[in-house]
């Protein structure tokens, strides 16, 4: 069956519905949703019962890039700088040096066991050198398993920030495969250009995005997530246009925005969380359709050998070497090495050799797909078991959740105080987003002229307003008073 304008919406919506239902059911059995989405795509493809013909790597790559924009941006928005800061260097080393070591170690092995050239081998190693955060933590949540100390933020930071490094390595070694006369050293300027420009552009455009979001008056709350989508794609495409790494730029931009006071921030976060899930499903279904299971069969043996080497040797070696100068218990290092789950990103990167038309492109694509699937099956289904075995997991206490708990789940569990705004307060005629409130304090209601208002980031504080504020501690209430009445605080000082 060929996809047409007439049937694509029906087929797409049915696949989306089935993926959501089956994905939710899979949580009970600890089966990664990624595997289910890929499986559904393969099932309805040309080799499956659906007989849907889809053989367009260029379109699949476009869908993959758009999807990765949403997935990386959503991950960046959810990244807490307070949680990440203590393990910043560990995460950055894993996402750069660790990725490079994984690519080189696996590349040398592939070169040794196959007839690939050294550059083709390094290309394959680069494609599968990054990890997938979404699949990892969906499994951990399904098993109600928390991780000790800073292990979770370390894995989050690595998974969210290592795709740019893998992308740069993939493009660099693909260039070397195509242009055999170039030397290995010729890719170093390209690498530095991509990473430096990407990092600078991400921070600059993050600050620019915050200014635009908080200053522009759209009138409708629902338009702000749309505005952020536009800013996200501007960040990616503008960075790519000037020669930087767009994936790195949007991740840094999102981390910056996620830790700033923004108008309608909660609506923006909820929107991107939903879009990230949608993009994951669309991406995995698309990649499943692109794969022909019958073409993978000839590569099962070599694919399994390479996959096992990646899981048992290349990933552990890269983690142990990367973290050798940091104080960390050995069992935590082993667990980080086991959470080297490969997902959809390597499959997306594997479309680049297909579009470039290199000799072994089909073989590389099928091996990469097999590596991703086996990684999910072997590592993805055992993450919680290995966490308990290495004693790095903390089982969460199960409890019933009522509607009140759900409503206040994002609010601090503490007391409430009222603040009456007089004419001499600094906060008069200021928007809530500009007050520089402590992160653990919230204005839940404003009493104005006998009526109660539900505040938003763009709400302007007026004289005689009574603010109802909840916070975690008395120190937070002192900080709130300082934010509302900065002039008085300066005079006392």
374 and 437 belong to one structural domain? no
Domain at 282, CATH number: 1.20.1530.20
> Residue 117's pLDDT is what?
92
In whole angstroms, give the CA distance from residue 189 to residue 302.
Answer: 34
Q: Render pLDDT for 394-426 as a digit per residue (tens, 0 to 9).
A: 655 444 444 334 344 444 445 778 888 888 888
What predicted TM-score, i.e. pTM, was given to this entire model? Answer: 0.78
In whole angstroms, give the CA distance from residue 445 to residue 468.
Answer: 5
Question: Torsions phi, psi of 183, nearest 5?
Answer: -95, 165
Domain-located, residue 15 = yes
Domain-located, residue 280 = yes
381 and 445 belong to one structural domain? no
Q: What is the mean pLDDT of residues 231-241?
A: 95
Domain-located, residue 404 = no
354 and 429 belong to one structural domain? no
Domain at 434, CATH number: 3.30.70.1450
36 and 119 belong to one structural domain? yes
Domain end residue (candidates: 366, 395, 424):
395
In whole angstroms, give the CA distance from residue 273 to residue 134.
Answer: 11
209 and 289 belong to one structural domain? yes
Q: How many domains does the chain have?
A: 2
In whole angstroms, give the CA distance from residue 372 to residue 42.
Answer: 14
Query: Hunting for tokens 């795509």 — which residue is that?
Result: 41
Domain-located, residue 406 = no
Neighbours of 115 (CB within 10 A): 8
Q: Which two tokens stand for residue 2?
A: 């060929």
Domain-located, residue 403 = no
Domain-located, residue 401 = no
Neighbours of 53 (CB within 10 A): 12
Domain-located, residue 400 = no
> Residue 122's pLDDT is what?
95
Q: Render pLDDT for 247-303 as a digit per residue (tens, 0 to 9).
A: 999 999 999 999 888 888 888 988 998 888 888 888 888 888 888 888 888 889 999
373 and 448 belong to one structural domain? no
In whole angstroms, give the CA distance from residue 88 to residue 387.
Answer: 22
Domain around 474 = 412-492
421 and 376 belong to one structural domain? no
Q: Render pLDDT for 138-179 as a digit per residue (tens, 0 to 9).
A: 555 555 556 777 787 888 788 878 888 999 999 999 999 998
In whole angstroms, give the CA distance from residue 40 to residue 288.
Answer: 7
326 and 426 belong to one structural domain? no
360 and 238 belong to one structural domain? yes
> Residue 411's pLDDT is what?
47
């Amino acid at each position: 069956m060929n996809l047409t304008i007439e049937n694509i919406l029906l087929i797409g919506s049915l696949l989306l519905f089935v993926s959501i239902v089956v994905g939710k059911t899979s949580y009970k059995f600890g089966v990664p949703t990624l595997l289910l989405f890929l499986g559904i795509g393969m099932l309805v493809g040309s080799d499956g019962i659906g007989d849907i013909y889809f053989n367009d790597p260029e379109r699949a790559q476009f869908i993959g890039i758009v999807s990765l924009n949403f997935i990386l941006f959503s991950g960046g928005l959810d990244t807490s700088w307070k949680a990440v800061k203590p393990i910043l260097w560990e995460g950055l080393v894993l996402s750069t040096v660790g990725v490079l070591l994984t690519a080189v170690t696996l590349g040398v092995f592939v070169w040794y066991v196959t007839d690939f050239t050294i550059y083709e081998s390094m290309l394959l190693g680069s494609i599968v050198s990054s990890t997938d955060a979404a699949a990892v933590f969906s499994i951990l949540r399904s098993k109600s398993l928390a991780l000790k100390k800073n292990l979770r933020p370390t894995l989050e930071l690595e998974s969210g920030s290592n795709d740019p490094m893998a992308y740069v390595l993939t493009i660099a070694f693909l260039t070397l495969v195509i242009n055999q006369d170039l030397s290995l050293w010729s890719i170093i300027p390209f690498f530095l250009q991509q990473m430096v420009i990407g990092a600078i552009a991400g921070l600059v455009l993050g600050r620019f995005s915050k200014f635009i979001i908080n200053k522009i008056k759209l009138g409708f709350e629902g338009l702000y997530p749309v505005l952020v989508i536009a800013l996200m794609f501007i960040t990616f495409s503008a960075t790519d246009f000037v020669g930087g790494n767009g994936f790195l730029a949007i991740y840094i931009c999102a981390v910056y925005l996620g830790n700033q006071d923004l108008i309608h921030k909660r609506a923006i976060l909820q929107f991107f969380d939903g879009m990230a899930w949608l993009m994951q499903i669309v991406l995995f279904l698309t990649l499943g359709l692109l794969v022909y299971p019958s073409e993978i069969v000839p590569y099962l043996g070599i694919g399994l050998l390479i996959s096992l080497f990646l899981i048992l040797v290349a990933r552990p070696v890269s983690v142990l070497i990367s973290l050798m100068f940091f104080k960390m218990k050995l069992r935590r290092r082993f667990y980080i090495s086991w959470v080297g789950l490969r997902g959809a990103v390597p499959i997306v990167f594997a479309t680049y050799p297909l579009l470039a038309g290199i000799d072994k492109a089909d073989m590389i694509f099928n091996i990469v797909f097999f590596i991703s699937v086996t990684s999910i099956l072997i590592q993805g289904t055992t993450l919680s078991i290995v966490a308990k075995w290495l004693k790095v997991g903390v089982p969460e206490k199960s409890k019933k959740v009522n509607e009140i708990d759900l409503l206040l789940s994002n609010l601090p569990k503490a007391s409430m105080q009222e603040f009456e705004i007089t004419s001499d307060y600094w906060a008069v005629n200021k928007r809530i987003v500009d007050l520089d409130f402590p992160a653990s304090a919230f204005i839940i209601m404003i009493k104005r002229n006998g009526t109660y208002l539900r505040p938003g980031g763009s709400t302007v504080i007026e004289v005689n307003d009574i603010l109802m504020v909840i916070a975690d501690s008395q120190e937070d209430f002192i900080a709130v008073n300082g934010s509302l009445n900065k002039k008085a605080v300066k005079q006392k000082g």
